[in-house]
Amino acid sequence: MINDKVSIIVPVYNAEKYLGYTITSILKQTYKNIEIILVNDGSKDDSLIICQNYAAIDDRIKVLDIPNGGVSNARNCGIESSTGKYIQFVDSDDVIAENMTERLVETMYVYEADMVICGMRYMALEGNRPVSSNDWLPQYLGKECVLSREKFVGDFSRILLYTVLLEGPCNKLYKREYFENYGFRFPLDKELGEDFLLNLQYFGKLERIVFISDVLYYYLQWGKNSLTTCYRSDMFDNQTLLLQEYEKFLRAQCVWKDENITYFYQYAVGHVIRCINMVFDSRNDSEDTGVKAELFRILNNDSVIRWIQNVAWIPEDYEWLKKCVKNTDIGLAYDKLVNISRQKNMLNNEIEAGQEVHNPGKVNQKLDQILRRVNSVLDSDRITKTIESLEQDGIKMTISKVGISYRYWMSSVIFGEDEK
């Protein structure tokens, strides 16, 4: 019988509204040999009291109270305090399935793996009521997929582009010995993407990794204010650094070639598009000058120019980017973004007024399910078949009604215009 201890680390900051849901979901685990490390990161609300109250009723809970130093520092403190063979991370506003830890540990044991990655469900909430959801699954990898390090890094860019499961820490089971032996820690100077930087270090050392399609982690968006839904002045710089580190990882693993390069550029340009859309959406009538200045900074960046010039395919509505980075034509870029914004608004109005589309969230789910089975975004025949499949399923909200190309809709999924 497997009974190795698992350390579940929860960084906590001003989470009094949601913390009870999180801790309760961990206490309900079918796998009992766990230690729950709640790291209160200088909360100003009653989070610490809540942590202490739970610790009083279950001796598996350990509470660390530290000065505010950010989520990376809180997770690092949890790592240093952990005693389990395995480490699991849970955010203080999310919940996990009752069998999550058991399923991850069993899979780790059966396959003698160094990491297990499971599926996730994103849920947007208003109050306590879900208003939309989307499953992030390793679909093209199959129900259970065991990969050696050689195969994993050899197909790394495609896995990253299509599964949306490699960046964060919360849908994974780690071995604590990796943190001890290699000194892995979350970087303290980053607020965005710090988890992906740690994972890149871990990926470079593991020998075997397993993906399972079970949805075991529930990634909850409470309201609309999130680090990743609002554009910040350092967002582009952080994204650029992450992409540069990602490229360094591929080169260090000697896999900077073939499809890894193709999918890298696809992924990189997707993040550029996401950044410029968020910059544009952050504007108001009095700040057009600031928006244009930020667009100029992005499109004049040497890395962005290289990524866009080398990408094999770009969404039809963003093909103008190739011209803009050559001439840094911000006027053209701004006008194109205005048109895209109008098309989005037209589509939203069409959805709200129409009778055929009952639930846009379900439509997006269906798009996601089908598109993740497309092996290459460069394959036009597959794109055509995807559209035919959508129409056969009765999803006709696309495109012809409001004048938006299907490539734009595909890119909105492929390039990860997610809600959190």
pLDDT tens digits, 131-181: 778 888 887 787 899 999 999 999 999 999 988 899 999 999 999 999 999
Nearest CA to 19 among 80, 61, 81?
61
Residues of the chain above pLDDT 90, percent: 55
Torsion of the alpha carbons at 30, 79, 10 and 162, rounded to the nearest 10: -80
Nearest CA to 334 among 342, 347, 236, 304?
342
Minimum mean pLDDT range among 127-131, 177-181, 338-342: 127-131
Of 352 and 27, the structure prediction assigns the larger pLDDT to 27
What pLDDT is stored for residue 352 in this prediction?
54
pLDDT band per the 50, 70, 90 thresholds, residue 186: very high
What pLDDT is stored for residue 192 in this prediction?
78
pLDDT digits (tens, 9 = 90+) for 189-201: 877 789 999 999 9
pLDDT at 231 over 70: no
What pLDDT is stored for residue 49 in this prediction?
96
Task: Annotate 155-165 with b (16+ C-beta within 10 A) or e (fewer).
Answer: bbbbbbbbbbb
Minimum mean pLDDT range among 50-64, 99-113, 146-160, 353-367: 353-367
Supply 321's token pair: 């980017």
In terms of phi and psi (left: phi > 0; alpha: psi -120 to 50; beta: otherwise), the region of 7 is beta
Tell me the average pLDDT of the chain: 82
Nearest CA to 13 among 84, 91, 125?
91
Nearest CA to 20 among 57, 47, 56, 58?
47
Q: Which positions ≥6 away from 152 have C-beta within 8 Å?
A: 159, 203, 206, 209
In terms of phi and psi (left: phi > 0; alpha: psi -120 to 50; beta: otherwise), the region of 14 is left
What pLDDT is stored for residue 341 in this prediction?
76
Domain 6-222 classification at class level: alpha beta
Amino acid at position 190, single letter:
K
Give the C-alpha distances (Å, rounded to integers) separating 16 from 44, 47, 50, 51, 77.
10, 5, 7, 9, 21
Of 273 and 336, the structure prediction assigns the larger pLDDT to 273
Of 351 and 14, the structure prediction assigns the larger pLDDT to 14
pLDDT digits (tens, 9 = 90+) for 252-307: 999 999 999 999 999 999 999 988 888 888 776 555 778 888 888 898 899 999 99
Q: What are the start and end residues of each CATH 3.90.550.10 domain in the chain? A: 6-222
Distance CA 365, CA 270 (A): 19
